[in-house]
Amino acid sequence: MSLIVDDLSIEIDGARVVDRVGFEVPAGARVGIIGESGSGKSLTALAIMGLLPDGAELRGSIRWEGRELVGLSERERAPIRGREMAMIFQEPQTALNPIRRVGAQMTEAARIHRGVRGRRAARLATELARDVGLPSPETIVSAYPHQLSGGQRQRVGIAAALAGQPSLIVADEPTTALDVTVQKGILDLLAGLVDDRDASLLFITHDLAVLAQIATHALVLDHGSIVESGEVDRLLSEPEHPVTRGLLRDAKATLWRPGGPS
């Protein structure tokens, strides 16, 4: 169950925003993409999910379990999205539908892809709510998004991604909008769930410290190109490319250090 991206380029209105990007997410791996705003990391994620905005031009190859995804029609894509791969978004507030109960939103993928309905769907919703650590799982499934805190909403977003039992989870800055204590809970949860289910994870972030917590391998994107990639431990201890070094240096300037500033 691996994802192989090869020579992928994305152009929007004639501007090349992702330039010949290639990488692999092997089965069970946790890979991070790191870069600043505008580096092309979110677009790369959207391209994999087949969710690029209209007018974006895609070239190159995205192979999922040996199958080419670039060039598939929406009809051919739909069965893959939600069932084989699912996405978690940055803003749990806007990613959820405000007028639908969270239980129904969590189980949508299971309903569409696996025909889970009625009592089975209700039971699944409660199970998912429990898996992602929501309080009182039996009752919270009947709540609306506005009745939940930001962290709880993100847990609903994660549950919704898990419902289709995907083997790849793409998470685009899932903790950026959250407080640090909440962030820790979500990262621990995500890592645990991915491991339990033998799924692989592609995690997009601008935060090196978050990357260090969640990913084993990472790519550094800058202006649409991969400038460096490898094991996260190595990237953080011996960064080779000036961009990586710059990111690390600047992150350290505002980084919390238990021992005090050096």
Partner 1 sequence: MSEIILRARGVTREFRAPRRTLFEKRTVSFALRPVDLTVRTGSSIGVIGESGSGKSTLARLLLGLDQPTSGVVEVAGHAVDAGASARELRWLRRAMGVVLQDPYGSLDPRMSVGRIVGEPLWALGIGGDRSQRVREVLTRVGLGGVEGRYPHEFSGGQRQRIALARAIVHRPRILVGDEPLSALDVTVRAQILELLNEIRREEGMTLIMISHDIGVVQNVCDEVVVMTDGDVVEQGPTSDVLGNPRHPYTKRLLAAIPTI
Residues of this chain that interact with partner 1 (CB under 8 A) are 36-37, 150, 179-184, 187, 206-210, 212-213, 236, 246-261
The span from the CA of 220 to the CA of 35, in Å, is 6
Give whichever of 104 and 182 is closer to partner 1, judged by the CB atom: 182
Around 158, how many Cα atoms within 13 Å sit in the side-chain half-sphere?
Answer: 29
DSSP string, 140-200: HTTS-GGGS-HHHHHHHHHHHHHTT--SEEEEESTTTTS-HHHHHHHHHHHHHHHHHTT-E
Instruction: For residue 261, give the DSSP letter.
Output: -
Smallest gap, in angstroms, from Cβ of residue 116 to partner 1?
A: 35
- Distant-in-sequence, close-in-space partners of 196: CB < 8 Å, separation ≥ 6: none
Instruction: For residue 53, give the DSSP letter.
Output: P
Q: Are strands 217-222 and 67-68 parallel, antiparallel or unpaired?
A: unpaired
Smallest gap, in angstroms, from Cβ of residue 257 to partner 1?
A: 7
Smallest gap, in angstroms, from Cβ of residue 187 to partner 1?
A: 8
Give whichever of 112 and 251 is closer to partner 1, judged by the CB atom: 251
Give whichever of 6 and 207 is closer to partner 1, judged by the CB atom: 207
- Contact predicate 206/34, CB 8 Å: yes
The span from the CA of 71 to the CA of 65, in Å, is 16
Give whichever of 98 and 256 is closer to partner 1, judged by the CB atom: 256
Smallest gap, in angstroms, from Cβ of residue 155 to partner 1?
A: 16
How many residues are given for the chain?
262
Smallest gap, in angstroms, from Cβ of residue 260 to partner 1?
A: 6
Give whichever of 88 and 124 is closer to partner 1, judged by the CB atom: 88
- The residue assigned the tokens 């190109």 is 225
Smallest gap, in angstroms, from Cβ of residue 177 to partner 1?
A: 10
Smallest gap, in angstroms, from Cβ of residue 224 to partner 1?
A: 16
Give whichever of 36 and 65 is closer to partner 1, judged by the CB atom: 36
Give whichever of 136 and 149 is closer to partner 1, judged by the CB atom: 149
Quick one: which H or E segment has residue 89?
A: none
